Structure 1
Amino acid sequence: MNIHKNGHISTRHAYLNPLKLIEALLQQEKNWLNAIPRLRAIILLALTQGLASLNLAALGTVAPALESSMHIGNIGYGLLSTASILTGAAAALPVGILGDRQRRVPLLIKLSILWAIAMLLSGISPSYYWFLLTQMLAGAAGVSVGPVIASLSGDLFPPSWRGRAFGLIVGGELLGAGIGMILAGTVNTLSNWRTVFFVLAIMAILLAYLLWKGMREPQRNNMEKLALELTQKNPTRQTHAQVTTNRRYLLEDIRKKSIQPVSKRILQEDPTQWHWFRAAKTILSIPSNVVLISASSAGYFYFTGLLAFGILYLTQRFHINTMAASSLFVGAGLGGIGGVIASGWIADWLLRKGLITARVWVTGIAFLLTIPFFLLALNTNNQVLEFIWLFWGAAALGATNPTLDAARLDIMHSRLWGRAEGIRISLRYILEAAAPFAFGWVSTHFSESYCQLQHCGNGYGLRITFGLFTILLLVATILMLSAVFTYPRDVATALFSHNR
C-alpha cells in the first residue's frame, strides 16, 4: 500500500489480507445482528423450522436399534420416513390456506403441541405399524409448519433482509437435525430408542410455551407499502443520508432498470379468499416459481437421503458405534449451518450492489459446488479427509436453502404466501418422500459381493447410492441458472399486483 504526500492512500498495489477480510465480515455481521428487527422471532422460527428435521435425524440415529427391535431392514426403515413425509405433504395444503387467512402464531403453537403428542406416542409404540402411524402424525405436524413460517417471515422482513433472515431460520432446520443426532445418539446409548422420543416430546412442549410467551403476530401490509412506493410517479425526495439508511434495494433496482411486469399476470384483486384451485393455478403459472420448486425438490431429495442413511453409512464404513458416527456426521453438518448463513449474507450483499438476480446465482453456484465435494468424500478411505469433504459439501448444500426461500417470497403476492409455500412443500415432499425408500432400495442392489476391489469395505451399497444420486444436484444447478431469465419480471409482477 502506497501513501502519497497529500495523505491519500493508493490501493493499486495492495494485497488482500484474508484476516482483515474475515474481521470485516464478522464486524458487518455483528452490526447487522445489533440492528436486526425481531431477533427473538428469528430464534423461535428457527427452532420451529427444525421440527421435521429433528424427527428425521432422530430416526436416522436410532436406525440400527429400530431395525433390531422391530425386525425390519433398510426398506422397512425407509418406509417410516417416506410415510412421515407424505403425510406432511398432504397436511401442508390445508395448513397453507389457514396461514393466509388466520393468525399464524397460534397455528404454530398448535402444530408444535401436535408434534409433541406424536413423539410421545412413538415412544410407547408396541409394534412397527403403531410406530408407522405415529410417524405419519409427526410428519403432518412437523412438515406443515413450513407454510406458516414462510408467511410470517415475509411480513417480518423486507426483501433486502430476507436472505440473511432466512439464513438463520433455515439454520434452525440444520441445527435441529444436528441436535437430534447428538441427543438421540447420546440418549440411545445411555438408555434406549424409546427414551429418545420422550425427550423430543418434552422439547416440543417447551417450544410451544416459548412461542406462546415470546411471539407476536405481525401485520400483513409490508408488501403493500413497497408496491405503493414502486408505483408512485413522483416518489418523495430524500436526503442522501436518508437514502443511504433507508434504501429499499430490490424496489429501487426494479425502478432504476425499468423492469416491466408481465401485464397479463398482474392480479386485479385481493386473493386472500380465493378458492384453492384458483390460487393454485395462479401460483403455478409463475415461471420462476416452477423452476425454484423443481430445484428445491431435487436438493431436498438428496438431503433427505443423507439424513436417513448418513449415520448408518458411517457406522458401516468406519466400524464405529452410533454415538461416534452421530458426532462425526453432526460435525460435518456444521458446515451446512455456516453455508446457510453465508449464502444469505452474500446474496443480500450482491442485491445491495444492484444484482437483482443475486439469489438465483448464489443458489445455482452452491448446487454446482455440492457435487465435487460429495464425490470426493465418497471416494476416499481416509476418515479425516472424508470429514473435510463432507463438511464443505454440507456447506454448499446448505447454502442453497435461504436464497431459495427468499426468492420464492419475492415473486409471490403476499396474500398467497401460505398457499404457495403449502403447494411447494407438498410437491417437494411428494418427490422427497421417495428418497429414504429409493436410497434403501438402491443400496440393497449394490452389496459388497458386487465389488471385486479390496478397498470397497463395508458401506459399499450406500456409498454407490450417494454417488449415483448426485445427478439430481446437477439437474438443480441447470434449473436455477435458467431462472435468471424469468426472475426479474416475476418480482416486478408480484410488486405491481399489490397495488390493485
Structure 2
Amino acid sequence: MIPSSSTARQDAWLLWPLAAIHFYHLLDLLMLQPLAPQLMSQLALSSGQFASLVTAYALCAALGGLIAALFIDRVERKRLLLCLFALFSLMTLLCGLASDYGVLLLARGVSGLAGGMLSAMVQTLIGDLIPPERRGRATGLMMSMFSLASILGVPLALWLSELGGWRLPFVLLATLALPCALVAAWRLPRRPPMPQAELRHPLAMWGRILAPRRHRAALLFVCCGVFSGACVMPFLAIYLTQALQVSSGLLSWVYLLGGAATLLASRWVGGWSDRVGKPQAFLRLAGLSLLPITLITQLPPLPWYGLLLATTLFFLLVPCRSVPAVALVTSSVDPALRGGFLAMNASCQQLATAAGAAVAGQLVQVSEQGVSGYGYAGLLGGLATLAAMVLCLRIPPLPRTEPRTA
C-alpha cells in the first residue's frame, strides 16, 4: 500500500502507465468485433467459428488467471507485468500475420493466456497502490480505457481495414507495445512478494482464496455480470451490418459516440460510487442497463439518429455499471490474497465471457436470409443482469484492515 499521505496527484503518476497497458489490452480485444464481417468473409468463417475465436481467447485467459493465482502473490509484480505484456504484444503481431483460421485461433488463444494474467496484474497493482477510499475513482480511470479504445481504436481499426485489410490494425497496434512498456518500466515501482505463510502445495492457494464466503460471492457476482455483456457484445457489429444494413461509416459512429459517452461518464461514475457506496451504485446502473440490453438486440430498421441513440445508451450504461462492480470486488478481498484472488477473478470473467459467447453463438444464426436469434441472446443477458443484482447484496463487507488516507 502506498503511504497514507499520498495524494490523488501522486496516484495519477502510478495509474497512467497501468492505464496505457490496459488500453492496449482492450484495443486488441475490441478490434476483433467490428472486424468480424471482414474476417468471416475473407477467411470463410461461420458464425460458430468466429464465436470460437472469442471463446478461445476467453478460455485461455481463464486458464492464465488460474495459473497466475498460484504464484502472483509470491513474485515481484512489476517484472511479471512487463514479461506478460511482451508476450501479449507478440501475439497481437501474430494475429496480423496469421495465414489462416488455425493460426489466428492459436494466436488468440495464447493472447488470452497472457491477457488473463495481464488483466489480473493491472487490477492487483491498483489494489496495492491506491487507497480504498480512492479506488472507485481509480477503477473509473481504468474502465474509461474501454471507452477510449472504442472512440479511437475501433473506428481507426475499421478505417485501416478498409485501406489495407483486417491484418493492418493488428500489425500497427503491435508497434505501440514498446513505448507502453518503456513508460511502465520507468514509472511503476517495484512490488515485493506479499508476506504470507508458505503452503505445502501450490494448489492449496486456490483453497485459501475460495475459503472466505465473501470471495465466493464476489466471484459469482462477477460471472453473472460479465456473462450478461458477453451474450450481446460479440455479435453486435454483425447484427447491425447484416440485419440492419448499417454501413461501415455509420458503424464507426456507433463505436465513436458510444465510447465517448462512456469515457465522459466513467470517471464521474467512479467518484460517485465512492460517495454513495459501490453496491448502491451498481444496483442503480444495472437496473437502468436492462433497457438498452433488451432494446439493442431487438432493434427494427431505424433512421441513423435513432440507431445512434439506442447504441449510445447501450455503451453508456453497460460498461459504466462495471466501474462500481470492479471497485466493489477489489475492496472485498483480503489484502494478503489480493493478487491471487484477482487472478482467479480474471479467470472467472473470461470463463463467463466464453460461456456467453458460446451460448450466443448457438442462439444467433447468420445466413443469407439475415440474422436470427439475437433477441434471445438479449433476453438471456437481461436475466444474468438480474442475477448479478441479487448477488451484489450478498457480498459481505471486508473488515477494515487498510488505512484511510487524508
Same fold (TM over 0.5): yes
- Indicate how the Cα distance of structure 1 residues 468 and 88 shifts in structure 2: closer, same or farther if over 3 A, else same: closer
CA shift digits 1:44-102 (9 cap, x unpaired): 21222234432231111211111112111111111011001111111112333443122
CA contact (8 A) 2:365 2:371 kept: no
The residue aligned with 1:293 is 219
Cα distance in 2 for partners of 1:271, 1:344 equals: 35
The residue aligned with 2:289 is 370
User: Which of 127, 149, 162 is the equivalent residue of 1:154?
Assistant: 127
- Indicate how the Cα distance of structure 1 residues 294 and 87 shifts in structure 2: closer, same or farther if over 3 A, else same: same
The residue aligned with 1:53 is 26
Cα distance in 2 for partners of 1:51, 1:140 equals: 16
CA shift digits 1:257-308 (9 cap, x unpaired): xxxxxxxxxxxx9357674443322322322322222222222223334442
Q: Mark the runs of 5 or more structure 2 residues left unpaired by the alignment.
A: 1-6
CA contact (8 A) 1:189 1:323 kept: no
- Indicate how the Cα distance of structure 1 residues 82 and 306 shifts in structure 2: closer, same or farther if over 3 A, else same: same
Secondary structure of 2:103's partner?
helix
CA shift digits 1:201-258 (9 cap, x unpaired): 112233112212232225789xxxxxxxxxxxxxxxxxxxxxxxxxxxxxxxxxxxxx
Which residue identity is paired with 1:371?
Answer: L
The residue aligned with 2:262 is 336
Which residue identity is paired with 1:436?
Answer: A
Cα distance in 2 for partners of 1:379, 1:479 equals: 30
- Indicate how the Cα distance of structure 1 residues 271 and 69 shifts in structure 2: closer, same or farther if over 3 A, else same: farther
Query: Superposed, which structure 2 residues align to 1:438-449 within 5 Å?
Result: 438-444=359-365
Cα distance in 2 for partners of 1:70, 1:204 equals: 27
- Indicate how the Cα distance of structure 1 residues 380 and 43 shifts in structure 2: closer, same or farther if over 3 A, else same: farther
- Indicate how the Cα distance of structure 1 residues 188 and 272 shifts in structure 2: closer, same or farther if over 3 A, else same: farther
1:63 aligned onto 2:36: yes
The residue aligned with 2:3 is none
The residue aligned with 1:224 is none
Secondary structure of 1:65's partner?
helix
The residue aligned with 1:252 is none
1:387 aligned onto 2:387: no
Which residue identity is paired with 1:423?
Answer: M
Cα distance in 2 for partners of 1:311, 1:380 equals: 15
Which residue identity is paired with 1:302?
Answer: S
Query: Superposed, which structure 2 residues align to 1:94-133 within 5 Å?
Result: 94-133=67-106
Cα distance in 2 for partners of 1:177, 1:304 equals: 16
Cα distance in 2 for partners of 1:470, 1:329 equals: 22
How far is the alpha carbon of 1:322 from its aligned partner? 2.8
1:270 aligned onto 2:183: no
CA contact (8 A) 1:49 1:146 kept: yes
CA contact (8 A) 2:63 2:116 kept: no
Cα distance in 2 for partners of 1:463, 1:52 equals: 29
The residue aligned with 1:217 is 190
Cα distance in 1 for partners of 2:198, 2:337 equals: 7
Cα distance in 2 for partners of 1:276, 1:448 equals: 52
CA contact (8 A) 2:60 2:113 kept: yes
Secondary structure of 1:320's partner?
coil
Deviates more, 1:172-181 or 1:135-144: 172-181
CA shift digits 1:418-477 (9 cap, x unpaired): 1101111212312321222322220118x797xxxxxxxx54543443344321111111
- Indicate how the Cα distance of structure 1 residues 314 and 71 shifts in structure 2: closer, same or farther if over 3 A, else same: same
The residue aligned with 1:81 is 54
CA contact (8 A) 1:271 1:415 kept: no
The number of residues matched between the two structures is 395
Which residue identity is paired with 2:390?
Answer: I
CA contact (8 A) 1:163 1:345 kept: yes
Secondary structure of 1:144's partner?
helix
User: Which of 170, 183, 205 is the equivalent residue of 1:279?
Assistant: 205
Cα distance in 2 for partners of 1:389, 1:411 equals: 34
Cα distance in 1 for partners of 2:311, 2:202 equals: 41
How far is the alpha carbon of 1:177 from its aligned partner? 4.5
How far is the alpha carbon of 1:165 from its aligned partner? 0.7
How far is the alpha carbon of 1:153 from its aligned partner? 1.0
Secondary structure of 1:495's partner?
coil
The residue aligned with 2:401 is 495
User: Which of 303, 310, 315 is the equivalent residue of 2:236?
Assistant: 310
Cα distance in 1 for partners of 2:198, 2:124 equals: 13
1:326 aligned onto 2:252: yes
CA shift digits 1:2-26 (9 cap, x unpaired): xxxxxxxxxxxxxxxxxxxxxxxxx
User: Which of 365, 375, 390 is the equivalent residue of 1:478?
Assistant: 390
CA shift digits 1:337-379 (9 cap, x unpaired): 34432322112123xxxxxxx2112112221111013323444
Cα distance in 2 for partners of 1:220, 1:110 equals: 16
CA contact (8 A) 1:187 1:196 kept: yes
Percent identity over the alignment?
A: 22
Which residue identity is paired with 1:369?
Answer: L
Secondary structure of 2:333's partner?
coil
- Indicate how the Cα distance of structure 1 residues 58 and 287 shifts in structure 2: closer, same or farther if over 3 A, else same: same
- Indicate how the Cα distance of structure 1 residues 444 and 292 shifts in structure 2: closer, same or farther if over 3 A, else same: same
Secondary structure of 2:230's partner?
helix
How far is the alpha carbon of 1:384 from its aligned partner? 2.1
Cα distance in 2 for partners of 1:116, 1:47 equals: 13
Cα distance in 1 for partners of 2:300, 2:108 equals: 35
The residue aligned with 1:30 is none
